[in-house]
Amino acid sequence: MGSRHSAERAHRSRRPALLLVLLAFATITVGAVVTPAFAAGRSAGTAATAAATAERTRPAPAPAATADEGRGTPQPGSADGRKAGGRTAAQQQNATQQQNATRNQNQNGTQKQNAGQQQNTPNPNCTLTVPPAPLTAAGLATPYLLRGTGDGGACHEANDAQSAFVEATILDPATGKLSVYHPLVVDEGSQPAAAPVPVTLPANAVVGVWFGFQGDTLTLRTSSADRQACVDGLPGSPFGQFAHCNGPAFFAAANTAIKAGTLKVPALGTGRDGLPCPTTRDFGMVDQDQSDNLVTRYRATRDGRIAQDTPANAGLGGTVLTNASDNGLLASAVDPAIGCTPFTAPDLTAGGTPTSSLALNELQAAADQPAPVATVPLNDPMAKVGDRASTEKTDLYRAGVDMAPLGAGDAGDGAAYCRNLAAVAPDRLARDRAFLQAAASPDPAAARTLFGFLTQRLATSWQNLGCQDLVHVGPPKVDGARG
């Protein structure tokens, strides 16, 4: 398991990650503090996004625009808080600092130096043990157990380069009501900092569980009874940061409830820019591997134990762990910045506080996203097998996020995906520039504001999708962004 997906990881990392390491060698001193990925982007929490400004039908005066604050060449890993290399820019800098320290300590022994560097580099591949019956009330309230994959070393949930996240969305088929629960992840062999919140499910509840990850490749370890329902990719070729249990069945039940009129998906509304609010299938919002990762947050105490991030656990102190994600980025950063409100449901982990989720975002995107609609293409790095496009793996990914399989109406053409990305994203970012510049960046090491962050994310996604080879042009230019 430790090395079988090295080609996929290398494809996502690419050469800009090396540039970041070289830059860090020249500019970073030992001892910097690493900020958890996307913590700034979600500091207000999902409850705040649910109370965000109501939808508006006319553009509002935008804040005065200032010069773009992007910090140099886009770097895989900083362009969306994690993707393309398993680390944020801050995490990469921290790893480099540790390597520098090891070199200084072991100047007289090359072998010692190399061993120290390996020891200080977090294992990017982790395994998550799924509790028995994960779709039941007892399974949801049982912690998932994190450990290292292969011989790369241990994995620790409190290390934001290795954190895994779990999110469940629950449908009551009798009423069409939805709710969300955030199961806990702890290190294998450890105990939670606080007991998970117990959950009561409605009769005949349909539960879907989704997974997010901060590293490169997350592998699910399940019982034989749950193996069919839980999917992390093809045998020998995991998706990477994405997995689910019972996703297709949940979406089938939800779509049945929508057709019956018992489940009503709220309309997208209009942003402050006068455009329809973005979704996870908007080419102004997507990146190299759309529709992945979660809104879930955990709390890591100073001694490394983990608890659900609930009001009752706020007194534990420590650090809030967040998942660098398309879903969290949309609901907790982009929507508030442009005056949109995400689709929410009661969070059973936090006393019914409204929260978004991957499943809610995908239901709304499927219902209301105007053309052109972004669906997972064959050149998505997480849908490939090694460096090869795979219809089977792409369809498997799509099934977990409520997308139809590849076919005549949607062939998953990578070149078409890149052309739509170039046609939509730069114009939307330029139009929203003033609003986005007034919002903080999810990754301050990459850019100071949300505008700089998103423009870097676009350029990095262009590279990691292989768009230049497919359409023979360089990354799209955004008005107001630094070259």
Q: What is the pLDDT along the chain (483 residues), one digit of tens a residue?
A: 433 333 333 444 433 333 333 333 333 333 333 333 333 333 333 333 333 333 333 334 444 444 445 444 333 333 333 454 344 444 444 444 444 444 444 444 444 444 444 557 899 999 999 999 999 999 999 999 999 999 999 999 999 999 999 999 999 999 999 999 999 999 999 999 999 999 999 999 999 999 999 999 999 999 999 999 999 999 999 999 999 999 999 999 999 999 999 999 999 999 999 999 999 999 999 999 999 999 999 999 999 999 999 999 999 999 999 998 799 999 999 999 999 999 999 999 999 999 999 999 999 999 999 999 999 999 999 999 999 999 999 999 999 999 999 998 899 999 999 999 999 999 999 999 999 999 999 999 889 999 999 999 999 999 999 999 999 999 999 998 764
**178-181 β-sheet, strand order:** 230-231, 243-245, 206-213, 164-171, 178-181, 345-347, 353-355
How far apart CA 360 and CA 330 sit, in angstroms, is 12
| Strand boundaries in 230-271, DSSP class E | 230-231, 233-234, 237-238, 243-245
- Estimate to the nearest angstrom the gap between the alpha carbon of 402 and the chain centroid: 17
Q: CA 447 → CA 252, 374, 436, distances in Å?
A: 40, 26, 12
Burial 186-211 (b: 16+ CB within 10 A, else e): bbbebebbbebbebebeeebbbbbbb
For residue 148, give the H/E element and its range. strand 144-148
Position 421 in a domain = yes
Position 83 in a domain = yes
| 400 close to 209: Cβ distance less than 8 angstroms | no
DSSP-based three-state secondary structure for 210: strand
The first and second tokens of residue 116, run together, are 């120290």
Position 116 in a domain = no
| 443 close to 38: Cβ distance less than 8 angstroms | yes
For residue 127, give the H/E element and its range. strand 125-129
| Cβ neighbours around 398 below 10 Å, total | 22
Q: What is the chain's alpha carbon radius of gyration, rounded to the nearest angstrom?
A: 21
Position 118 in a domain = no
Position 373 in a domain = yes
Total domains in the chain come to 1
The first and second tokens of residue 414, run together, are 């990578």
Position 219 in a domain = yes
How far apart CA 444 and CA 41 sit, in angstroms, is 10
| 401 close to 362: Cβ distance less than 8 angstroms | yes
The domain in which residue 229 lies consists of 36-88+124-471
How far apart CA 229 and CA 248 sit, in angstroms, is 9
The first and second tokens of residue 98, run together, are 């540790």
Position 136 in a domain = yes
**Structure-token match 């053309």, residue found:** 371
How far apart CA 160 and CA 213 sit, in angstroms, is 9
How far apart CA 357 and CA 43 sit, in angstroms, is 17
Calculate ∠ Cα 208-211-215, nearest 5°.
175
Q: CA 35 → CA 26, 168, 333, 385, 472, distances in Å?
A: 21, 26, 17, 32, 37
How far apart CA 447 and CA 77 sit, in angstroms, is 13
- pLDDT reported for residue 325: 75
| 301 close to 316: Cβ distance less than 8 angstroms | yes
| 288 close to 83: Cβ distance less than 8 angstroms | yes
Q: What are phi and psi of 35, to 5 degrees?
A: -90, 130
- pLDDT reported for residue 324: 85
Position 60 in a domain = yes
